Structure 1
């Protein structure tokens, strides 16, 4: 089976790191000019493609799985299955105009406004949705300079921090869509078997990145109150300690977003010797 991976851009490095953590390290260096590489996982190869082309290759079955941006999936217009939202590549696709344009919202744009973007399909759908009768100027790069060159009156482009837009004298006036990296599957591929195993391996790494393993010692007379505030996948693991006074070791998995609250409340209820560890995989 084949997994399509970005060959350039902001998604390439984090995608390769994710696949390596999932056991899919390429045998050929990902920085080489090779277009395909076997991986350490027998029967699985990586194919390196432009991120905007990956949805199409996956849709037709040329690759069973792929990692690309949700914005590229939307722009492609093809049917693929989203197996997982990944934890990188977060950005917004925004409508931006020159700071001195006098436009502050999409409703301010006049009929016939020219909007430059490499996301032609997404931009047309957006303009229709907000009721703007405009002309989409399809470009393949350097979108931010189009207004200053007189090619367009506005742009639709990806923005992570807004810095690049500001450098070119642009300000965002609306969010077209939120995007992030996603793992997609071909509708022509069997979701079970090897494809399913690889997809689950990737998901297990993504889950682990937002989960911490918490260990603590709890006096016997405080155990019940501490357990009341501990989350767990099913239930915390509890083991008796060989100590002069009755005491227990408690181990549980905690979502990272809840970690500070859980530690504070567990200490307040009597837990001590709290240790927090990273997790490599989480498989429900």
Structure 2
């Protein structure tokens, strides 16, 4: 009997990062059929629900999935009553208002007084944005690619997601305002907080957070003679303090600490100059706080 369901995107830019994140957590899918909607995993009684990214907030709100991974833009668009539990480190993007590059328009104020049509799949977000800015426009709701709509004459400009702006430029468009910033998030509903599986879900969330905390960090071990211990420790970063233990039958210590991967070259140089030797550097999967 399945007691825990996690909804993730079945396609699009968030699919692969979401799958990789769950694999890093330790939840591995046991099937790879792109047509499958429900996939068992390496965690007992846990399965993945593969659905459209934009449908995940509503699925989680309805309790059909305990947790979900989706973009906060889709949460806002759906107006779903869900809780953002963990901000993830992928899926960063912007929802922008973009106009043809040929227009003599540089910001939103240049659009005041114009009759414009805006093509977008973000109908609710766009409507709220227009109300906030005090602009009048016809919203053309679409479900496919927005960039081509001005070229087809179906709209004058668009509100759409962008990461680098390359696709906009290829279609002769330029962004003139940021409607909202977006990123991927783990979401949940009240069911898991009150249900019989709340303890299990909270454990999963703890491991997810630990996986994120462990990214970009390395564990460093080294041996240090007693006379050089203080100078080595002073040159080390630590989450709280370096861990040290006496090496049996010697006048030396084993020193262990955790550091950001980007800082490793500088740290190794410092501790080696201060007398550390036998330095070992290991990957970290998770840091549970």
Q: Distance in 2 between matches of 1:183 and 1:96?
A: 29
* Conserved 8 A contact 1:119-1:156: yes
Number of the residue aligned with 1:89: 91
What's the TM-score, normalizing by structure 1? 0.89
Task: Tell me which of 278, 281, 284 is aligned to 1:279.
Answer: 284
The answer to whether structure 1 residue 134 and structure 2 residue 140 are counterparts is no
Task: Tell me which of 253, 262, 266 is aligned to 1:248.
Answer: 253
Task: Tell me which of 186, 192, 206 is aligned to 1:200.
Answer: 206
Supply the RMSD in Å over aligned alpha carbons: 2.3
Deviation at 1:215, TM superposition (A): 2.5
Measured against aligned partners, the alpha-carbon deviations of 1:121-157 in whole angstroms (never above 9, x if no partner) come to: 1112222233322222211112001112222222111
Number of the residue aligned with 1:104: 106
Q: Map of 1:53-132 to 2, 5 A cutoff?
A: 53-111=55-113, 112-132=115-135
Stretch deviating more after TM superposition (126-135 or 63-72): 126-135
- In structure 2, the CA distance between the partners of 1:104 and 1:189, relative to structure 1 (3 Å rule), is same
Stretch deviating more after TM superposition (185-194 or 85-94): 185-194
The answer to whether structure 1 residue 236 and structure 2 residue 236 are counterparts is no
Measured against aligned partners, the alpha-carbon deviations of 1:239-270 in whole angstroms (never above 9, x if no partner) come to: 234697x4433211123455455445545655
> Any idea what SS the aligned residue of 1:189 has?
helix
Q: Distance in 1 between matches of 2:99 and 2:60?
A: 35
Deviation at 1:27, TM superposition (A): 2.1
Measured against aligned partners, the alpha-carbon deviations of 1:58-88 in whole angstroms (never above 9, x if no partner) come to: 0111110001111111111112111111122
The answer to whether structure 1 residue 37 and structure 2 residue 39 are counterparts is yes
Q: How many residues align?
A: 282
Measured against aligned partners, the alpha-carbon deviations of 1:202-251 in whole angstroms (never above 9, x if no partner) come to: 2222222132212234443343233234333332111234697x443321
Stretch deviating more after TM superposition (226-235 or 70-79): 226-235
Q: Map of 1:144-155 to 2, 5 A cutoff?
A: 144-155=147-158
The gaps in structure 2 that reach 5 residues or longer are none
- In structure 2, the CA distance between the partners of 1:60 and 1:229, relative to structure 1 (3 Å rule), is farther
Q: Map of 1:258-273 to 2, 5 A cutoff?
A: 258-259=263-264, 262-263=267-268, 265-267=270-272, 269-273=274-278
- In structure 2, the CA distance between the partners of 1:131 and 1:73, relative to structure 1 (3 Å rule), is same
* Conserved 8 A contact 1:107-1:132: no
The gaps in structure 1 that reach 5 residues or longer are none
What's the TM-score, normalizing by structure 2? 0.88
Q: Distance in 1 between matches of 2:193 and 2:256?
A: 37
> Any idea what SS the aligned residue of 2:130 has?
helix
> Any idea what SS the aligned residue of 2:76 has?
helix
Stretch deviating more after TM superposition (265-274 or 187-196): 265-274
- In structure 2, the CA distance between the partners of 1:132 and 1:260, relative to structure 1 (3 Å rule), is farther
The answer to whether structure 1 residue 26 and structure 2 residue 29 are counterparts is yes
Q: Map of 1:165-176 to 2, 5 A cutoff?
A: 165-176=168-179
Deviation at 1:272, TM superposition (A): 4.7
